[in-house]
Amino acid sequence: MKRAAAMAFVVLASVSCGAGEPVASPATSDSVHETPESPMSVPASAGQKPTPAPSPTGPPPFSANVSRVARDQLPYSWRPGCPVHYRDLRLVTLTYWGFDDKPHTGQLVVRKTVTSDIVTVFKRLYGWRWPIKQMKLVDAYKGDDYDSIDADNTSAFNCRPATGSSNWSNHAYGEAIDINPRENPYVTASGSTAHQNAKKFAKRPVSGKGVVNPGDKVVKAFSRVGWEWGGYWSGTKDYQHFSKGGG
């Protein structure tokens, strides 16, 4: 969340985070189309011989689709004056592994220059079956960072300043992501977190589903594409926060 807790700086119109303009970007491989919500197909009906398949009941392979973002897909998270124009943002629709041990399709908005970083990392996480609670655009929470975090929502772009600062957050550039923010809270130097449901996750290391600890493979996966972890900050720790180049 990058030094921004309860503040909703942007409140505009109605919620919309559905599918956007299906303009495929050539920038990303791995991309075919979205995986359906129920990808586990039943091999055959009664009376028929099931067709042999390499993995008839296994989860689908990772997929990611990168598309342009329409203005009305970001009714709360973007506005004129933001440091990155929405035309330079991309909607990434990708497969993630859920807390329910099932594959899901989630959406993130990031700057177009970092889509391959994000796809690379999330492909790895999916391969590890590393669980993510949910992944919706922050617009589903009217751009309210606090509400998105309280819902344990993983999200990236949000045009807002860093808390207590006139500078933009890295989220405003589409170059930061918050992952499982309940399990990985923002913790002040004195050890407190603004979210009641996150209190038991305020210390590291801690065990639990979707938790990021120092030295974890998740941290390393981001590090390999040049993204740094807020859990390594001194003083305040932002365990949910990864950003390109840090900060």
Which of 1/109 has CB closer to Zn ion? 1
Binding mask 147-186 for Zn ion (x = CB under 5 A): -----------------------------x-x--------
Contact flag: residue 244 with Zn ion (CB under 5 A): no
Residue 138 CB, nearest approach to Zn ion (Å) = 11
Interacting positions 27-86 with Zn ion (CB under 5 A): none
Residue 45 Ramachandran class (φ > 0 left, ψ -120 to 50 alpha, else beta): beta
Which of 123/171 has CB closer to Zn ion? 171
Which of 68/241 has CB closer to Zn ion? 241
Sheet holding 241-244, edge to edge: 176-178, 241-244, 227-229
Residue 245 Ramachandran class (φ > 0 left, ψ -120 to 50 alpha, else beta): left
Give the DSSP H or E segment for 178. strand 176-178
- Decide: helix, strand or coil at residue 93: strand
Which of 68/111 has CB closer to Zn ion? 111
Residue 148 CB, nearest approach to Zn ion (Å) = 10
How far apart are the C-alpha atoms of 245 and 95, rounded to whole Å?
25
Interacting positions 175-234 with Zn ion (CB under 5 A): 176, 178
Residue 169 CB, nearest approach to Zn ion (Å) = 7
Alpha helices in the chain (DSSP H): 115-127, 145-150, 217-224
Name the site residues for Zn ion (rule: CB under 5 A).
1-2, 176, 178, 241
